[in-house]
Chain A
Amino acid sequence: MHWPWERAKESLSEELESHLQMAIAGRIADGEDPAQARAAALRELGNLPLIADVTRERWGWIWLENLLSDLRYALRQLHRSPAFTATALLTLAFGIGANLGVFQLLYAVILAELPIPHPEEVVRIHAARTPFDQSWTVSYSAYQRLRVATPDVALMATAYAEDARLELPSRASIKASLAPVSDNYFSGLCVTPAAGRLFIQADAREGQGEWPAVLRYDFARNTFGSAGKAVGQHMLLNGRSFVVIGVAHRRFLGDITGHAPDIWFPLELQGTGAFAFSWDSLGPGHDVSLDKPWYNQNTIFWLSLTARIPPERRAAVLAHWDQVFRDDREVMAEATADPAVKDALLHLKIGVAPLSENGMRKRFTVPLTLLMALSASIFLVGCLNLANLQLARLNARAHELSVRIALGASIGRLVRQVVLEDALLVIGGSACAFALGRVASGILVRWASNRNALFMFDLHPNLPLAALGVGLMLLSLLCCSILPAVTFIRTGVAQTAGSGARIAGISQTARQRFRSNVLLGTQVSLSLLLSTMSGCFAATLVHWETIDVGMDREHVLIVRPELHQPRYTDHSEMLPELYSQIQQRLQALPGVRSAAVEMCGGIHCGWITALYVHGRNGLTNAQVHGQEDHVGLGFFSTLGIPILRGRDFSPSDTDKTQRVAIISRAYARQLFGDADPIGQWVGYVPAPDDHKFIIVGEVADAHVNGAEREAPPVVYMSINQNPAPVNSIRVRAVGDPRQLSDSVRHALYEVDPALGVSEIVPLATELDGNLGTEKLLARLAGVYGSLTLLLVAIGFYGVMSSRTTRRKNEFGIRLALGATRGHIQMLIVGQTVRILLAGILPGAILSILAVHVASHLLYGSVSANSLVIIAASLVLAFAGFVATLIPARRAAFADPLETLRSE
């Protein structure tokens, strides 16, 4: 490489050389002897290289030149020890990358505010909890009344609608997630469009030929190429035509953390009946027509309210709303017979909650904080490991460094060279870490997500993330390089210089040894913590994945038919016959034990209901509320839910006969205690209409809401007595249910060629798909656990190798004096054992504390999890032991003559 100063340097040496030549020539001209003249001229000139050095300093760029030469030297040094370089790079990349990845997620879930002006002004309005779902939703008419009452406050309403089928001309249809919003949603939040425009009041008009839609930025880009191109595009959503009027700002992902809708559209689309909205009501028996538009029904609660109110006006606005909302409270109170609940509902005041108080934050704050702590520990372990390796490396270079100091090298320059070498490593490692962090946060989001709903966060790099990254870089540079280099050069070098100082060197190494022992011990402690946590989380995940859910989780297949089409919904009286045909056809398949239809489409999908017992008054809400599901014949045998008392539904239960119900054990206990529920009359509403159904059976509890959730109280009704499109067909296989997918699809096609199947998935997958938090914790902690074992092994190997190398002579003498090889090995292994013991004890205490803190995320008691600590200690000890054995054997089997010869 040719730097500008290389030329200048050559020029300078030529200049000095020419000076010398002229001086010699001058002396010869004065009559001196040539040989003498040369000697005299050289003497007069002085130390040529020194003159050149001093002259060069005048140029002012000497520092840069030195830096570059130090840099070259550092690169050579790194190149010379590829194992160390690779270890350091990987350690830093993982240590920093893991922290960045987890922090990115932590920031997005817990710390980030909505990317809108003054996000602190935007709050959720909690008017009243709905009778069954206990959600904070209100009716459309209540929303309108509240909005009109305070025209100067932006009160926005949102609803929840299920994903819809999006069709674009000449493209395969895809699923799109929806967010129905009021016309003032974007203007109230102060979101700006990336292209086109956002909703205005005229967009809420009903009966339009083409409805307006606003797209999420990334969705628009992925679907149409760019935000600009998306505007004006026409599309079909569940068969309704839409035109894209605009694209929201790039960073705006909706107001619910983690759930970014693809498409926003006006609330008024509910009236079309094309979309499945979530709702709650006063329950059966009240005046509710779900088929008619909901905007003029004050008994259907489906709108969540969000408002932008400056904090100082909040109290006045809420008080005013309380007045307006009083009538709606009275309506809601009709749903319950429980006087305490009624009273509480009527006296509740409208409240506000910050947007940050959401389920996502509640669910992930502790796990993510915990993971952040574990990530910090793994970073610390990595740093300690590198610091130790660095000390060992410096020890190996002690002789070289001391000779250089003796020759006049400045200590500052030496430290700079060592630090520069590590700065290169840190920079390289951090670059990898940033890339790794980006990938990692994507993977973490996927692990944390439920199977059916991938979370979506704003994972763009942000300032706090960059600050953390740079902070960790500097910290790692300080820990792994500057501190070891300074301590070593200040204390270690002088004493080890020259063979005469060897005695002094030994007394010094006692301190050094202690230092590296402390570092190793700390590493062991932290590693034990990480291994324990990974063990506990893995055990928890395995527990939830294998726990008895009260259903045959391994053999049941969930088939999702597309029955929500006019040809089925308009002729629901035909459905029982169709269900019977499907059941018979499927049961005729080889490998199928039984099949049944179910209203519920998967897990956690039964709706909340109330059952009042005939002849018993004064039941509280907590007693009457339960979950309802409508099932076909043979459902319980298909799911493997045992019938405890009474009978199953039978073909003779039709819509012409007495309505019957089967309740789960939990519901029976809630309503009747230990008394026999069979033959009891129940109804959806209190007396006088509380004898609509007769209970004919009681079944065992099943974890239908997910393996990790309690088995809920469930009442099962017969689908044949309430004909409606079902959301799933359950098939119980003899062997692996996955293998039945094709034949099931084929059989359904034979029964009804027009019947589509949207998805076929095993029950086990569905249940496991719900374990986002557990999976996130178990997998990440697992990665950390194995990483930390590796680091500890590398740490022990590195330190013990350098130690045995330094004690080679001592071992040679010991062997010569009659020590056995076993004795030498024991010496080294003994050291490891002491360090392990010293590290495991505090590590165990730390782990017990951590298990305590995380106990609600773990299955099993603290004491049961403490067993994991013992197991983790054993694994850790084994890893350390094996890593030590290699240098120990090398030392013990060295030839004593060979080692003594160098003495």
Chain B
Amino acid sequence: MTEISNYQNRIELLQGTLDMLVLQALLREPMHGYAIAQVIRSRSGEVFTVETGSLYPALHRLERQKWVKSEWKLTESKQRAKFYQLTALGKKQLNTDHQRWLQLVRAIGAVMEPEAQP
């Protein structure tokens, strides 16, 4: 029981950011869960390790909100996998999230480095 709540806590914390990262990863092409994790890891310079325990609940949540849709396809290595694809709604959401993120970064930056302000 305690373990479950830990997972939930982590998801709560990461929720907004993780969703945005996943949506961003899917922006160019449909991908399966493993590839999403790999992409986020490599693009972040190995800083973010997306836990499977967070990734899949997030993917299923995004799917339920109709931001992504899924399809079973074969990978290049002939392995059956579930590919996730961004929907129009998802693109809009990504845009909103991205804007909010930029706002957040600017605001935090302004607070943390007041001397940089003109």
Contacts and interface: CB of A to CB of B under 8 A. Distances in A.
Given A26-B38, A54-B8, A18 B52 contact: no
A54 B59 CA distance: 12
Contacts of B72: 11
Contacts of A15: 33, 56, 81-82
Contacts of A12: 56, 60
Nearest to B77: A25
A58 interface: yes
Contacts of A59: 60, 64
Interface residues of B, number: 26
Interface string B52-83: 11001100110010000000100101011110
A324 B109 CA distance: 103
Contacts of A45: 52
A570 interface: no
A18 B83 CA distance: 11
Interface in B19-46: 32-35, 38
B60 A11 contact: no
B3 interface: yes
Interface range, A side:
20 to 34
A50 B75 CA distance: 26
A57 interface: yes
B33 A54 contact: no
A134 interface: no
B80 A18 contact: yes
A50 B82 contact: no
A19 B33 contact: yes
A18 B38 contact: no
A44 interface: yes
A46 B51 contact: yes
B93 to A, nearest CB: 16
A903 to B, nearest CB: 34
The 7 closest A-B pairs by CB, nearest first: A22-B34, A58-B60, A58-B61, A55-B56, A15-B82, A18-B81, A55-B57
B94 to A, nearest CB: 19
B7 interface: yes
Interface of A: 11-12, 14-16, 18-19, 21-23, 25-26, 44-47, 50-51, 53-55, 57-60, 408, 410
Interface of A, secondary structure class, is helix
Nearest to B49: A44
Interface in B73-109: 75, 77, 79-82
Contacts of B32: 18-19, 22
Nearest to A46: B53
Nearest to A45: B52
Contacts of B47: none
B4 interface: yes
B13 interface: no
B1 interface: yes
A50 B1 CA distance: 10
A300 to B, nearest CB: 86
Contacts of A55: 56-57, 60
A767 B15 CA distance: 86
B81 A50 contact: no
Nearest to B34: A22
B62 to A, nearest CB: 9
Given A58-B61, A410-B1, 10 more contacts: A14-B80, A16-B56, A18-B32, A23-B34, A46-B51, A50-B3, A53-B4, A54-B4, A55-B56, A408-B1
Nearest to B52: A45
Given A15-B82, A22-B32, A44 B56 contact: no
B52 A54 contact: no
B52 A19 contact: yes
B34 A26 contact: yes
Nearest to B3: A50
A54 B53 contact: yes
A47 B3 contact: yes
A42 to B, nearest CB: 11
Contacts of A22: 32, 34-35, 75, 79, 81
A11 to B, nearest CB: 7
Contacts of A11: 72, 82
Contacts of B75: 22
Nearest to B51: A46
A25 B53 contact: no
A765 B79 CA distance: 90
Given A23-B34, A26-B38, A51 B80 contact: no
B23 to A, nearest CB: 16
A21 B80 CA distance: 10
24 contacts: A11-B72, A11-B82, A12-B56, A15-B56, A15-B81, A19-B33, A22-B79, A22-B81, A25-B77, A46-B53, A47-B3, A47-B53, A50-B3, A51-B53, A51-B57, A53-B4, A54-B4, A54-B7, A54-B11, A55-B60, A57-B57, A59-B60, A408-B1, A410-B1
A408 B3 CA distance: 11
A731 to B, nearest CB: 87
